Chain A
Amino acid sequence: MRELDIAAFEFARRRRGLVIVSVLLVATAGLTIAVYPSFGESDIDFAELLESYPEEFQAAFVGSVTDISSLEGYLVVELYQLVWLLIVGSYFAYAAGSLVAGEVDRQSVELVLVRPVSRTRFVVGKFLAMLPAVAVVDLALLAAVVVGAGLIDEEIHLTRLLAVHAVGGLYLVACVAVGLLASAFFGRVRRAQGAAIGVVFGTFLLDSLTIDTDYEFLGALSLTRYLDPGELLVAGDVDWGGIAVLVAVTCVLVVLAAEVFERRDLS
């Protein structure tokens, strides 16, 4: 299984970056949760405050949550909707942008693809390397939220939290696939990473800005359209259709990336 060798090697090289991202994310979660008790004690009517935001802003950063006085609602608004979907999603697209292009750019690919490793296996191996990476970041945040909630003596719905992280993980994997395709297409790392982050970030905005307009259908291009942390964590509704789309899109992108890379000249 040479793709597993490739995946293991790639993952090992990314360990340090992953630790840094995980630590930052855990710190963000910790701070967010630490603020929650004082947030709940204040007299401000948050429901009113939320309604005063422009709709686009709500769509982007608040999601479907209407009640942020519960810890779940608060976390969706403060953590999952923005930090998780937009920032961590963009990070993984960006990180995946260097998977293939990095080796082509630096020419180390000339030492790998002259071995009995097909280009498809190479691409698949690179993709597989990011699965444990997503899992590490996902679990780190999950642990931080569970521990954080415990520390401030708040109940949190564990099954729903797990559901958010399971579906969120699939979303991040789809972001990786976006980066992988860019990486297989472009010969330069910078271009690949720029394209990947541009797509994830751009479609996120597209989804947010077109919601409840005539152009809402455009938001279907965005991966964020297919999961809703608010629905999952606050209401506990699992959108199986959305999950299916995320998985299908990931598969299609990986196949496309392999196909694009098979046809390319490497020089």
Chain B
Amino acid sequence: MSVPAIDIDGLTKFYGDVRGVEELSLSVSEGELFGFLGPNGAGKSTTIRLLLGLLKPTDGTASVLGVPVDDRAAFLDVLARVGHIPGDPRFYDDVTGRKTLDYFAGLSGDARRDELLDRFPVPLDRPVRAYSRGNRQKLALVQAFMHDPRVVVMDEPTSGLDPLVQQEFYEFLREERDRGVTVFFSTHILGEVREVCDRVAIIRDGRLVAVEDIDDLLARSGKVVTVQSPDSIDLADFDFPETIDARIEPDGSMRLVTSGNYDALVDALEGYRIDDLEVRETAIEDVFMHFYDEDDGEGGGDEGSDTDGDSAVTDDESGEAEDTAEPSPADAEESANA
């Protein structure tokens, strides 16, 4: 088996008594597009900083391209083949975009600079101070990829990008993956993970909740059936072995997540008048409810997780999961690991 592009083993970081991350283990193969999903404050940025050697772990190890981060001298060679976008990229305010890139080029090369700038243009001759958030993010993107890295580690790389550029960026990431580049990025946006990732690790309160293949995750999670009826619906009628989740929404409609057996479903529906019926693919939001709602969820894997299960990953702006019963708890999570 080839050496994994990223290998994290028992990685633990405490800031004094405060847990950053604890006992994190995961492995990313070369050429994978890997998502690292969790609410704000879950430990995503800490993990990324540990992975790049900016922080020293309290315990455990992390390796990139087979070289452990704490082997300082050898790791410097690895860094020549690594690209990085920090969570909130800060450049030098009074320096123009062009000079900023010149500087980074001197430190690690810029074979692909022009190609990237064609695709993600920024006002090169203005000082970075005058850049919009989106332009700053694009500049960060160019500097992260311009030396043609083998591994790219990004902390919420799409924040601040407008939707069109975001799509272009997703497309770009897929192309990079197809060229064999390993892409590891953190996000709190579920739709993003579904859109681009091959696999995803889910982190919460500094601990890994699951590492899953996106397709498996979606396949196993079945379909969502929404039934609108003037009658009052009895959930007991829909308690089939295939039922993953059934609930009555505040508006009286029923939301059923099922992994099949539509015959039984149709039979059960016969007893009701039906105003509206919708069967759709599970949105990734529905799937992740398992990890954050119920700790023994379908795909919980073998990674233990906490039991104070009131947290969920932030909803995508698209509002795909408008039918979730809980208000977005992202705010509650915000301060968990400050």
Q: Chain B's nearest CB lies how many Å from the CB of A82?
A: 32
Most chain B CB inside 10 Å of its own CB: which residue of A5, A107, A116, A265: A116
Q: Is A42 an interface residue (CB 8 A)?
A: no
Q: Chain B's nearest CB lies how many Å from the CB of A260?
A: 14
Q: Is A35 an interface residue (CB 8 A)?
A: no
Instruction: State the CA gap A111–B46 with chains docked (Å).
Output: 16
Per the CB 8 Å criterion, the residue count for chain A at the interface is: 23
Residues of B within 8 A of A6 (CB): 107
Q: Is the CB of A2 within 8 A of B106?
A: yes
A115 with B104: in contact, given A13-B95, A108-B91, A266-B55 (CB under 8 Å)? yes
Q: Is A38 an interface residue (CB 8 A)?
A: no
A117 with B107: in contact, given A110-B54, A111-B91, A266-B49 (CB under 8 Å)? yes
Q: Is B247 an interface residue (CB 8 A)?
A: no
- In chain A, residues 65-96, which have Cβ atoms closer than 8 Å to a Cβ of chain B? none
Residues of B within 8 A of A266 (CB): 49, 54-55
Residues of B within 8 A of A116 (CB): 76-77, 79-80, 107-108
Give the total number of A-B pairs whose CB atoms are below 8 A apart: 72
Nearest neighbor of A266 in chain B, beta-carbon distance: B54
Instruction: State the CA gap A117–B73 with chains docked (Å).
Output: 10
Q: Is the CB of A110 within 8 A of B94?
A: no
- In chain A, residues 105-149, which have Cβ atoms closer than 8 Å to a Cβ of chain B? 106-118
What residues of chain B have their CB less than 8 Å away from a CB belonging to chain A? Answer: 46, 49, 52-56, 72-73, 76-77, 79-80, 82, 84, 86, 88-92, 94-95, 99, 103-104, 106-108, 140, 143
The 4 closest A-B pairs by CB, nearest first: A5-B106, A114-B84, A115-B108, A116-B80
16 A–B contacts, CB within 8 A, in A order: A12-B99, A106-B90, A107-B86, A107-B90, A108-B90, A110-B84, A111-B90, A111-B91, A111-B140, A114-B52, A115-B79, A117-B79, A262-B72, A265-B54, A267-B46, A267-B54
